[in-house]
Amino acid sequence: MERGSRDAFTRMGTLGIEEECFVVDEDGRPTSGTDDLVYEYDPPEILEGRLDHELFKFVIETQTPLIEDPDDARESLLEIRQALVDHAEAHGYRIAAAGLHPLAKWQDLEHAEKPRYQAQLDRIQYPQHRNTTAGVHVHVGVDDADKAVWIANELRWSVPIMLALSVNSPYWNGFDTGLQSARAKIFEALPNTGMPTHFEDFEAFDRFERLMLETDSINDRGELWYDVRPHTEHGTVELRTPDGQADPDIVMAFVEYAHALVCALAEEYEDGTSGHQHRRELLDENKWRAIRYGQDASFIDRDLEGTVDLGELVDRECERLGIDGIKRVYERESGADRQRRLLEDEGSDALCESLFLQTE
């Protein structure tokens, strides 16, 4: 039974970026099933070992190599994206990104045949059968296991902020859900998802992970699909919150924010700062507000005294952490609003075209 280790947490501030994308046809429509890009053709060298299916054959995931210096993150992301786009186009496909593909109907799409996913389908049934979601995951290295768990506890507060800024999935199964991130809600139907509870230290998290494996609740530690988690193999804290994005500038804003948050929290931990012990229910409420209202959300404030608008939170975070990417994301039209506008004003062709993965 494969398990992680306290010893994995050795390096502070490294980065890794995982992106889930859609394999689409020339017109940007979902392909019902393609093994080609993963199994039939050798990918470009940079994608070897870093390209795989997700649950559906039309959802594909890439991973950057380990990024030692945050200043290299954008170049690394674009290099992986370009390789994926080139690989797809060489075999008659294109790549798109969003939290959900607005025209994808899960009943018409083929599941991947990988044993891991077949086992999940058998165990979870309907919630997994319909799971056409795609997100962005940011890993930030942490050099101590207890510190990583403390940081992950604190990052729960930031999950709704990042989700509200990333909302990019108003449509699911061909209809308007009325949500800004339907992906987040659909994904929460799976077990071991959503907002995690507070863990006292690494030993507590390790006991939980071990119990879940030993009781056959999960087949591997990767099936703890919470919005934020200590990753006990990579030695990172992993934020799994944002919807998928075609625009690399938006992804990089989240990478900048995640890195700044983890490094600032690491300093707080080392200074002996007392962590917050917010109830999961309050954090769930804030996440719901992000799902429903996106950039128009207001949140229960961190001190639990009243509410605060997303715009004010973004200003606070940028000033506190010395960043500006999430401010630029906030000031532009949200992905969900853009999808709705394009479909209404220009039709489904324009909507699909807007989701093609950008590489510069």
SS3 (DSSP) at 17 = strand
Alpha-carbon span 249 to 253, nearest angstrom: 6
> What's the pLDDT at 2?
64
> What's the pLDDT at 124?
86
Residue 110 confidence (pLDDT) above 90: no
For the chain, strand residue ranges (E) read 15-24, 51-53, 59-63, 94-96, 136-141, 171-172, 175-176, 193-194, 225-226, 228-231, 236-239, 298-300, 307-309
Residue 1 confidence (pLDDT) above 60: no
SS3 (DSSP) at 172 = strand
Specify which residues 60 forms β-bridges with.
21, 53
> What's the pLDDT at 42?
87
Encoded tokens for 206:
């390790």
Q: Where are the alpha helices (DSSP H) in 197-273?
A: 202-214, 248-270
Residue 3 confidence (pLDDT) above 80: no
33 falls in which pLDDT band (50, 70, 90)? Answer: low
> What's the pLDDT at 72?
98
In the structure, how many helices (H) and strands (E) does the chain have?
13, 13
Specify which residues 236 forms β-bridges with.
141, 231
Stretch 111-132: mean pLDDT: 87
pLDDT tens for 302-326 read 888 899 999 999 999 999 999 999 9
Encoded tokens for 147:
């510190």
pLDDT tens for 41-96 read 888 899 998 988 888 889 999 999 999 999 999 999 999 999 999 999 999 999 99
Domain residue ranges of the chain, discontinuous segments joined by +: 6-354
Alpha-carbon span 302 to 158, nearest angstrom: 10
Q: What fold characterizes domain 6-354?
A: Creatine Kinase; Chain A, domain 2 (3.30.590)
Angle between helices 248-270 and 73-90 (to 10 degrees): 140
Which DSSP string do the residues of 73-123 spell out, in sequence order? HHHHHHHHHHHHHHHHHHTT-EEE-SSS-TT--GGGSPBP--HHHHHHHHH
> What's the pLDDT at 84?
96
SS3 (DSSP) at 272 = coil
